[in-house]
């Protein structure tokens, strides 16, 4: 038995034809949907990049205890468990955050790994002279990104193309062998939206404004023409993702891998492209354009093709799904559930699911309602619980350790005490509590006042926080009581 996971960053379900998009060209995603099962109610858990990947390893929410950070010493890592039980695991990726301090303990959990360089702000090419760039640029622009771009001028030089080439080489080398897990992970279609010209030519439009392929994390204040231009740039990158997915599907056809190989195609979260008058993620509330994710699974055991699934599933369900496929016991600390029966017959696995970003809203959904619970007053106190005090690029600053406390073990820390570190990470937007009825308002344009529905969602929220062994201050800052 084998598993291939093809993972994207910021893949938007509303730009894929299996989810109803009629203008972005994604024929291979449709081909995938016809070949397997499409999930209509898949949600994120912990946001953004590395918190989501920690869930893919550990199968549990981490955003109530921790922001961006590495795998902890007490974490159950799905790839490491596979390796322990004799399943060969291999990661190919261009996701640069794996090679930063805040992601440095993920790739080492695999039996082997390969990388390609150059995405976003990857400090790759040493260029001392000021890099060439357009005279006028909208949105984000960084020196290192412009230093890297000339080295990716040809399509085969792009990080995504190189990543998929490495992944397909692994498949060609090992397809006759048994018991392996391959994770092909590309940073695309994350911004900047730097697709090769042939994909941009799929979306011709009149635009003669400033260079713009990287929206900043802020409200939309560009002109309608500029905003539409960057959506076309994103569409082009989605079409490139579709093209390289097709190469994997072709290889599975050629090598007859469908008979014994599970295929999972997933993402960490979506991205706002002007909806709710916002670009990007993290700063605005985690609306469904971010939280409601595409997910496709082919399971050779059930042989279900061209079917849809309505059951509520989340990122935390992927590691137990993979472990169960290989016949490996699921650790007690994993909160996710295997999706074998959900793939086979849409068997529900949960009533509701949590999702969020450390220090921001704590969100809960049951598939119909989305409840975004904001802080009751000043959003304090906030602590991080960790034995790996590292954020994205660097360890925590020395000053935060002056008053560090030791926290008694949580239920999932394997009897380990952790550091309890007070962090002042102000959220720039006011976090109003909001309730949405997705049946009546799928675009989340009009928060509702429904005390009965809110009470139901608060009960889900508290129950799930208790199951996660959330720290006491999380209840305090949200203005809810444990055990209610």
pLDDT band at 425 (very low <50, low <70, confident <90, very high): low
Q: How many CB atoms are located within 10 Å of the residue 74 CB?
A: 16
Beta-bridge partner residues of 309:
39
- Among residues 353, 347, 348, the alpha carbon closest in space to that of 365 is found at 353
Which pairing describes strands 307-309 and 37-39: parallel, antiparallel, or unpaired?
Answer: parallel
Q: pLDDT by residue (tens digit) across 187-209?
A: 999 999 999 999 999 999 999 99
Q: What percent of the chain has pLDDT over 90?
A: 95
Q: pLDDT by residue (tens digit) across 225-272?
A: 999 999 999 999 999 999 999 999 999 999 999 999 999 999 999 999
Q: What's the token pair of residue 264?
A: 């999972």
Domains along the chain? 2-351 (3.40.720.10), 354-478 (no CATH)
Q: Where are the alpha helices (DSSP H) in 133-222?
A: 143-148, 159-174, 197-200
Q: Are 258 and 252 in contact (CB under 8 A)?
A: yes
- Buried-state track 410-449, b at ≥16 Cβ within 10 A, e below 16: bebbeeeebbbbeeeeebeeebebbbbbbeeeeebeeeee
Classify 461 as helix, strand or coil: helix
What is the separation of C-alpha 276 from the centre of its chain, rounded to a whole number of angstroms?
A: 20
Instruction: Please tell me whether the overall predicted TM-score, pTM, comes out greater than 0.85 for this model.
Output: yes
pLDDT band at 27 (very low <50, low <70, confident <90, very high): very high
Q: pLDDT by residue (tens digit) across 97-121?
A: 999 999 999 999 999 999 999 999 9
The pLDDT, as a whole number, for residue 469 is: 98
Q: Are 56 and 110 in contact (CB under 8 A)?
A: no
Query: Is a pLDDT exceeding 70 seen at residue 334?
Result: yes
pLDDT band at 431 (very low <50, low <70, confident <90, very high): confident
Least reliable range by pLDDT among 182-196, 276-290, 371-385, 433-447: 371-385
Q: In the Cβ-directed half-sphere of 411, how many Cα atoms lie within 13 Å?
A: 15
Supply the mean pLDDT for the chain. 96
């Amino acid at each position: 038995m084998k598993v291939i996971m093809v993972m994207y960053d910021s893949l938007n379900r509303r730009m894929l034809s299996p989810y109803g998009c009629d203008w972005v060209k994604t024929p291979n995603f449709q081909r995938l949907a016809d070949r397997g099962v499409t999930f209509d109610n898949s949600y994120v858990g912990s946001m953004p990049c590395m918190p989501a990947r920690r869930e893919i390893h550990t199968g549990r929410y981490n955003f109530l205890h921790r922001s961006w950070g590495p795998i902890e010493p007490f974490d159950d890592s799905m790839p490491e468990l596979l390796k322990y039980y004799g399943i060969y695991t291999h990661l190919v990726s261009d996701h640069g955050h794996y090679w930063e301090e805040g992601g440095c303990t993920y790739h080492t959990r695999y039996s082997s790994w390969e990388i390609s360089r150059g995405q976003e702000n990857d400090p790759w090419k040493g260029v001392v002279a000021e890099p060439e760039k357009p005279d006028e640029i909208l949105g984000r622009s960084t020196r290192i990104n412009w230093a890297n771009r000339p080295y990716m001028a040809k399509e085969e030089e792009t990080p995504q193309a190189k990543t998929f080439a490495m992944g397909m080489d692994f498949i060609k080398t090992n397809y006759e062998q048994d018991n392996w897990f391959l994770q092909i992970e590309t940073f695309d279609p994350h911004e900047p939206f730097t697709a090769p010209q042939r994909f941009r030519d799929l979306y011709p439009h009149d635009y003669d404004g400033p260079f713009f392929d990287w929206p900043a994390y802020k409200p939309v204040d560009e002109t309608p023409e500029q905003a539409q231009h960057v959506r076309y740039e994103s569409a082009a990158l989605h079409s490139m993702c579709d093209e390289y997915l097709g190469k994997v599907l072709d290889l599975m056809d050629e090598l007859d891998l469908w008979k014994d190989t599970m295929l999972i195609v997933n993402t960490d979260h979506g991205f706002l492209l002007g909806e709710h008058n916002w670009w990007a993620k993290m700063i605005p509330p985690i609306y469904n354009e971010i939280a409601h994710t595409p997910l496709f699974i082919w399971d050779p055991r059930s042989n279900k093709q061209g079917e849809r699934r309505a059951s509520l599933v989340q990122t935390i369900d992927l590691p137990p799904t993979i472990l169960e496929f290989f016949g490996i016991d699921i650790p007690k600390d994993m909160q996710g559930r295997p999706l074998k029966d959900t793939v086979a017959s849409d068997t529900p696995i949960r009533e509701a699911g949590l999702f969020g970003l450390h220090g921001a809203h704590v969100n809960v959904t049951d598939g119909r309602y989305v409840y975004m619970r904001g802080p009751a007053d000043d959003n304090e106190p906030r602590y991080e619980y960790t034995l790996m005090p590292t954020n994205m690029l660097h360890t925590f600053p020395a000053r935060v350790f002056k008053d560090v406390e030791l926290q008694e073990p949580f239920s999932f820390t394997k009897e380990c005490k952790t550091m309890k570190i007070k962090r002042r990470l102000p959220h720039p937007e006011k976090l109003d509590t909001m309730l949405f009825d997705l049946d009546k308002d799928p675009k989340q344009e009009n928060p509702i006042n429904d005390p009965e529905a809110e009470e139901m969602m608060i009960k889900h929220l508290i129950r799930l926080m208790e199951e996660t062994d959330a720290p006491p201050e999380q209840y305090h800052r949200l203005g809810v009581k444990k055990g209610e």
